[in-house]
Chains A and B, each alone.
Chain A
Amino acid sequence: MLIELKDVNKTYNNGQPLHVLKGINLGIDKGEFVSIMGASGSGKSTLLNILGILDNYDTGEYYIDGRLIKGLTERQAADYRNRMIGFIFQSFNLIGFKTAVENVELPLFYQGVPRAKRHQMAMEFLDRLGLADWAKHYPNEMSGGQKQRVAIARALITNPKIILADEPTGALDSKTSEEVMQLLGKLNREEGVTIIVVTHESGVANCTDKIVHIKDGIIGQIEDNREHRASVFGTSTIMK
């Protein structure tokens, strides 16, 4: 198991205590393409935060590749995020005053990779995603699909163990959404990247091989979706 969650609980104490995750047990293998689906308020965002080491959990255990992720200092957490997890965000989260290639370089900068080396690597990744010509452009000069591909390049560059995608198509039109999901699927199939997509759209979830349903802080049904027939709106398109 690459990822293992054992009875993970999380309560927010903002005035009224809110028990968001009520004992999550989940295992994800290396090379899987999984989606976590749930309505807003189901606890999927909190689960994503914990999976991404962006937030702490109260009780239970969380292992990545056999390493217990608990009680980390901020520095350790930053280091683990940097080396083990690649993030893809709904709003792309590229840094606006940096060019595409500089954005892709950033995780390597925090690893202390020398300037020339990281520039070369970033260019390679942009090239793989068909964005070599756009390397010197700023995010506001690119389309949504291009921005998300830059963000994917940034997530891939550190060769992380997991790619965590938070509503990766949330800000894209249906055509681009499909392209992005196909790209993720291709990365998963051809390069064996483990990808976890968090979404509330069934169409997006249908693109993945396994759908984990979460409701009221508890894991419900885990659906095998290798046939990609889960979408209630049909199998051929991502409905918006």
Chain B
Amino acid sequence: MRDVFTEIWESIRRNKLRTALTGFAVSWGIFMLIVLLGAGNGLMNAFMTGGEDIATNTMQIGGGRTSKPYDGLKEGRRIDLDDRDVALTGSEVFADHIDQVISSVSTNATVSYGKKHFSGSIEGNFPARQEMDKIEILYGRFLNEKDIRESRKVVVLPEDRAETLLGNEVRDTGARMQMSSSSSAKRFDSSSGKKVRVQDLIGKNVRIGDCSFRVVGIAKANEASNSNTVYAPYTTIRTIYGRGRVVDDITFTFHGLESESENDEFEKQLRAAVNLRHRAAPDDTRATWVWNRFTQNLQMNKGRNLLTTALWVLGLLTLLGGIVGVSNIMLITVKERTHEFGIRKAIGASPWGIMKLILAESVTITAFFGYVGMLLGMVACTILDKTVGQSSVNIMDTDIAMLVNPTVGLDVALEATLVLIIAGSLAGLFPARKASRVRPIEALRAE
């Protein structure tokens, strides 16, 4: 093996420039492949942030407007779900698939603490919501059964909202101190260092509308799930805001629906049942909407696979240019070394002995420059991660990350290695066959 590499090194050393130029094309191909896959991963990760955090076996239904006349009623009629829909969903009709049903009501209100406040949606909810939406509690706890039973006035705040309630206060304190004292920068720093931490909010009371609520937990903010909402007990919100029997949405967990078609069929039945209760056409998809996280997840995965495949194809096509270059250079090498191969054969080299030389050289060039490209690609991905990956665009008051963790894993590196070895062998195959067919009589031909 060492001998083969010595031979390759000798050959490459004689043609540094053209080897480097050819190698650059291979490096470029692999570089593009890695960067494309990394960026693709980042894009998909950004789309799916939090997506994996939601239990995938849940469905949510809500009311909309009818889109066609039915049972003597005009289209455009508003459908409000209510307690009887909850009961219907949880009834034995769907008991084969549905496990647990909860509903929620929400209202918009102003939450204030001291002088700070924000307006947002307050959702009356059940403890089971935590499991279904995978709400992560940073400090304190989520709602519990006792809160529901006793209609306690307690609230779970998302982290960023809690910061809003505290952050303003800290900044103001600093400003006030700055004014009262001789406005030294040092003072300001030390005062802002005394920032109130979010966990200190637990146990404190905040005002929501006209009532006082005790903060029992801080939830992790998550852009994808609706964790900008403030959670309060279902019973409490319902009582205070007097929404009657109306609910905003019904969420349930289900089982036994594996394929997309099974899910579609089930959704159709459920929609028909709910629609008929509200005198809407059973197939009116606008009257009630169904959000199936399971099928959504399936489709997301399908999309992800499609994107990855497309990027691989693009990357491999770029690499192809490099491979053709290597093949070309190897052909030239073989032509230049015809006499030498003749000598080698005359003194006892077998065809395979010659073929091995060219194949190994081709694979070595491809693999070496491929690895350089791969390394640079990974560096580029890391730079992408540190720059674009950390920034986000603000669309309609929510921060949306452009790229999340746009890097490739070890698996891609291994796959790319395999691709390089195969590509190098392919590039060397024809030149190597040509070389192995050199006739030993070539040795007798004078140069």
Contact = CB atoms under 8 A, between A and B. Distances in A.
B347 A106 contact: yes
Contacts of B439: 54
Given A79-B350, A98-B10, A110-B353, A89 B444 contact: yes
Interface in A52-80: 52, 54-55, 74-75, 77-79
Given A54-B441, A166-B444, A74 B351 contact: yes
A54 B345 CA distance: 9
Interface string B348-374: 111111000000000000000000000
Contact of B343 (A82, A93, A166): A93
B224 interface: no
B10 A97 contact: yes
A75 B350 contact: yes
A110 B350 contact: yes
Given A74-B350, A74-B351, A81 B443 contact: no
Contacts of B346: 52, 54, 81, 87, 93
A106 B344 contact: yes
Contacts of A74: 350-351
Q: Which of B343, B344, B353 has the most A CB atoms < 10 Å from its CB?
A: B343
A74 B341 CA distance: 14
Contact of A45 (B339, B353, B444): B444
B10 A110 contact: no
Contacts of B40: none
A149 interface: no
A89 B350 contact: no
A231 interface: no
B3 A109 contact: yes
A198 to B, nearest CB: 10
A154 interface: yes
A75 B351 contact: yes
Contacts of A79: 348, 350
Contact of A111 (B3, B340, B348): B348
A49 interface: yes
Contacts of B10: 97-98
A32 to B, nearest CB: 22
Interface in B1-35: 2-3, 10-11, 14
Given A93-B343, A115-B2, A78 B349 contact: yes
A97 B348 contact: no
A54 B444 contact: yes
A107 B346 CA distance: 9
Contacts of B352: 75
Given A97-B14, A98-B10, A115-B3, A87 B351 contact: no
Contacts of B339: 93
A91 B348 contact: no
Contacts of A166: 444
Interface string A28-66: 000000000000000001001100101100000000000
A109 B447 CA distance: 25
Contacts of A55: 441
Interface in B423-442: 439-441
Number of chain A interface residues as a range: 20 to 34
Given A45-B444, A49-B441, A81-B440, A87 B347 contact: yes
A73 B116 CA distance: 93
A154 B347 contact: yes
A45 B445 CA distance: 11
Given A75-B352, A97-B14, A109-B3, A81 B347 contact: yes
Given A90-B446, A97-B14, A115-B3, A54 B440 contact: yes
Contacts of B443: 54, 87, 89, 93
A64 B441 CA distance: 20
A142 interface: no
Contacts of A87: 346-347, 443
A74 to B, nearest CB: 5
A77 B347 CA distance: 10
A95 interface: yes
Nearest to B442: A54
B347 A82 contact: yes
Nearest to A95: B340
A60 to B, nearest CB: 19
A65 B38 CA distance: 67
Contacts of A107: 347-348
Contacts of B347: 81-82, 87, 106-107, 110, 154
A54 to B, nearest CB: 5
A48 to B, nearest CB: 8
Contacts of B350: 74-75, 78-79, 110
Contacts of B353: 78, 110
A110 B349 contact: yes
A224 B439 CA distance: 35
Contacts of A111: 348
A106 B6 CA distance: 13
A22 B2 CA distance: 48
A87 B347 CA distance: 7
Given A52-B346, A74-B350, A91-B447, 19 more contacts: A45-B444, A49-B444, A54-B439, A54-B440, A54-B444, A75-B351, A81-B345, A81-B346, A83-B348, A87-B347, A87-B443, A95-B344, A107-B347, A109-B3, A110-B347, A110-B349, A110-B350, A110-B353, A166-B444
18 contacts: A45-B444, A49-B444, A52-B346, A75-B351, A78-B350, A79-B348, A79-B350, A81-B345, A89-B444, A95-B343, A106-B344, A110-B347, A110-B348, A110-B350, A110-B353, A115-B3, A154-B347, A166-B444
Interface of B: 2-3, 10-11, 14, 339-340, 343-353, 439-441, 443-444, 446-447
Q: Which 8 A-B pairs have the closest CB atoms?
A: A82-B348, A110-B348, A78-B350, A54-B440, A75-B350, A93-B343, A107-B347, A91-B446
